[in-house]
Amino acid sequence: MILQLYRLCNTLLIKMGRKPCCDKMGMKKGPWTAEEDEILVNYINKNGGHGSWRSLPKLAGLLRCGKSCRLRWTNYLRPDIKRGSFTFEEEKLIIQLHGILGNRWAAIASQLPGRTDNEIKNLWNTHLKKRLICMGLDPQTHQPLSSSCNPDGKAHAASTSTRHMAQWESARLEAEARLSREPYLFNNNSNKTDSDYFLRMWNSEVGQSFRGVHKSDNKGSCQSPISLGSLSATTTIDLASNPTSIVKEDLVWGGSKKIASDSSSSSELEEDSCDTSLQLLLDFPINNDMSFLE
DNA sequence: AATGCTCACAACCGCGTGAAT
DNA sequence: AATTCACGCGGTTGTGAGCAT
């Protein structure tokens, strides 16, 4: 009976157009058992990889959909996953990266070896977001919750353009990070030219003109006090030639206990951060944690 | 001891995107 | 060019553990 229904559903779905991503009928849901984990791990080890996720459950003998298998493997069973709580350095890096990349958990996770996007997302939603709120910062923008820019709207215009700048920079950083993980690309000039769209765009006329606009906007460089929780820094960045080339830095990072009680940093920020998006860009971390960009 | 609440985390779902047909 | 497929991503939900009442 169930089998007949299953076949009927499949037939109808195929006739309607597209097949479902996985066969829902008879598929198990909910928490994975140790036996299922073992089957999945054994299959992937035995076959030297997962191959097609869609066909894996059938081949491995699991009553799960491919999507569920992939999730279980990437978020839990993968051998390179780092278990245990996040270190203070990791949390700091996540906050800093979130300031640049926003809710792009996969991009953030790519900078934290052994950590998954899901894990980071959960950490953010359960801990870090609240911590920022306690500090009086908007967890999405990393700006003071009560901040108000100039009423004449100039700040808004500047903010819009610098937000684009931040988006450019975000994409470029991702590209650089990716390339740094694939050093062989740098050994081959022909590959390098094709390796990343954003790097090319950044160096193209378009990117150049874009940088030119901000060169005039910011007079070529920008010095700004940075405050992110108990992290504070004074940074001078040469925006015209390379937004990440830090000329001067003075970095202080306090203990985690200080974070919840430190309200002075946010009030300082209120005074200094009319151009909130530029702040976002300037919040780019400047300590050794960003060695992946080197 | 029972109940309710909060929190953390694993898992699911829907959508977007690039590749294949 | 249009359609289908496979996959990855981000938002959301479900559930169990721990704690307070």
pLDDT digits (tens, 9 = 90+) for A195-228: 343 444 444 433 443 333 333 333 333 333 333 3
How many Cβ atoms sit within 10 Å of the Cβ of residue A191?
Answer: 13
Q: How far is the CA of A112 from the C1' of C15 (A)?
A: 28
Q: Does residue A113 have a pLDDT over 60?
A: yes
Q: Are residues A93 and A127 in the same domain?
A: yes
pLDDT at A146: 61
**Per-residue model confidence (pLDDT) at position A68:** 87
**Do the domain assignments include residue A154?**
no
Question: In angstroms, how far is B18 C1' from A58 CA?
Answer: 25
pLDDT average, residue stretch A8-28: 45
Q: Which protein residue has its CA closest to C1' of C16? A: A31
Instruction: Give A140's pLDDT tier (boundaries 50, 70, 90).
Output: confident
- In this prediction, residue A204 carries a pLDDT of 42
* Average pLDDT, rounded, for chain A: 56
> Which residue is nearest nucleotide B8, judged by alpha carbon to C1' distance?
A126
Q: What percent of chain A has pLDDT over 90?
A: 0
Does A168 map to a domain? Answer: no
Interatomic separation, CA of residue A117 and C1' of nucleotide B7, rounded (Å)? 20
**What is the rounded average pLDDT of the residues A133-161?**
56
In this prediction, residue A284 carries a pLDDT of: 43
Residue A144 resides in a domain: no
As a rounded value in angstroms, the CA-to-C1' distance for A28 and C1 is 39
Banded model confidence at residue A28, pLDDT cuts 50, 70, 90: confident
Which pTM does this prediction carry? 0.55
CATH number at residue A99: 1.10.10.60
**Is residue A259 assigned to a domain?**
no
Regarding whether A97 and A61 lie in a shared domain, the answer is: no
A164 Cβ within 7 A of any nucleic strand B atom = no
Whole-number distance in Å between A217 CA and C7 C1': 42
B chain positions with any atom within 7 Å of a protein CB = 7-15
Q: How far apart (Å, rounded) are the C-alpha atoms in residues A249 and A269?
A: 18
Q: What average pLDDT does the segment A130-153 reach?
A: 65
Nucleotides, chain C, CB distance < 7 Å: 3-12, 15-16
What per-residue confidence (pLDDT) applies to A240?
32
Q: Is residue A143 part of a domain?
A: no
Which residue's C-alpha is at the least distance from the C1' of C4? A18
Residue A24: pLDDT band by 50, 70, 90 thresholds? low
Mean pLDDT calculated for residue range A69-97: 84
In a domain, A55, yes or no: yes
Q: What span, in angstroms and rounded, lies between the C-alpha atoms of A197 and A53?
A: 29
Q: How many domains does chain A have?
A: 2
Q: What angle do CA A202, A106, A59 make, to 5 degrees?
A: 125
Q: What is the rounded CA–CA span in Å between residue A126 and residue A104?
A: 17
Is A51 within a domain? yes
Query: Does the CB of A31 fall within 7 Å of any strand B atom?
Result: yes
Residue A169: in which H helix or E strand, if any?
Answer: helix A154-181
- Quote the domain boundaries for residue A36: 31-79
Any bridge partners for residue A221, and if so which? A238
pLDDT band at A25 (very low <50, low <70, confident <90, very high): low
| A126 in contact with nucleic chain B (CB within 7 A) | yes
Q: Check residue A78 and give its pLDDT.
A: 84
Choice between A10 and A76, residue whose per-residue pLDDT is larger: A76
Can you tell me the distance from the alpha carbon of A276 to that of A291, in angstroms, rounded to the nearest whole number?
A: 26
Is A227 inside a domain boundary? no
